[in-house]
Structure 1
Amino acid sequence: MDPATLTKITAALTAIAKIVEALGPGGVIALALAGPVVVVVAVLILAHLNNKRMARSFDEYRIDADRRFEAYRDQTSETLESYGAVQRETAQYYRDNVELVRSVESLARGFQDVVVTNTRTLERLCNDVEHHVFCPVARESKGLPR
Structure 2
Amino acid sequence: MDPSQITRLIDSLEVVANVLQKIGPGGVVLLVLAGPALVVIAIMFIEFLRGRMINSMVEMLRAENRTTLAAYQRDTQKLLRELGGNQSATDQYYRDNVELVKQYNRHADGLVDVITSNTRALEQLGTIIKTRIGIGGCE
Alignment of 1:7-86 (within 5 A): 7-86=7-86
Provide the C-alpha distance between the structure 1 equivalents of 2:119 and 2:5, rounded to a whole number of angstroms. 132
Residue 9 to residue 125, structure 1, CA distance change in 2 (3 Å)? farther
Alignment of 1:94-109 (within 5 A): 94-109=94-109
Cα shift at 1:39: 1.6
Specify the SS of the correspondent of 1:31. helix
Cα shift at 1:136: 2.5
TM-score, normalised via structure 2 length: 0.84
Provide the C-alpha distance between the structure 1 equivalents of 2:116 and 2:134, rounded to a whole number of angstroms. 30
Cα shift at 1:134: 5.3
Q: Which residue of structure 2 aligns with residue 144 of structure 1?
A: none
Cα shift at 1:14: 1.4
Give the aligned residue type for 1:27: G
Cα shift at 1:125: 5.9
Cα shift at 1:122: 4.4
May I ask how many residue pairs the two structures share in their alignment?
137
Provide the C-alpha distance between the structure 1 equivalents of 2:39 and 2:52, rounded to a whole number of angstroms. 20
Residue 122 to residue 136, structure 1, CA distance change in 2 (3 Å)? closer
Q: Which residue of structure 1 aligns with residue 138 of structure 2?
A: 139
TM-score, normalised via structure 1 length: 0.80
Stretches of structure 2 that go unaligned for 5 or more consecutive residues are none
Give the aligned residue type for 1:64: E
Q: Which residue of structure 1 aligns with residue 6 of structure 2?
A: 6
Specify the SS of the correspondent of 1:59. helix
Cα shift at 1:91: 0.8
Percent identity reads: 36
Specify the SS of the correspondent of 1:139. coil
| RMSD of aligned alpha carbons | 2.2
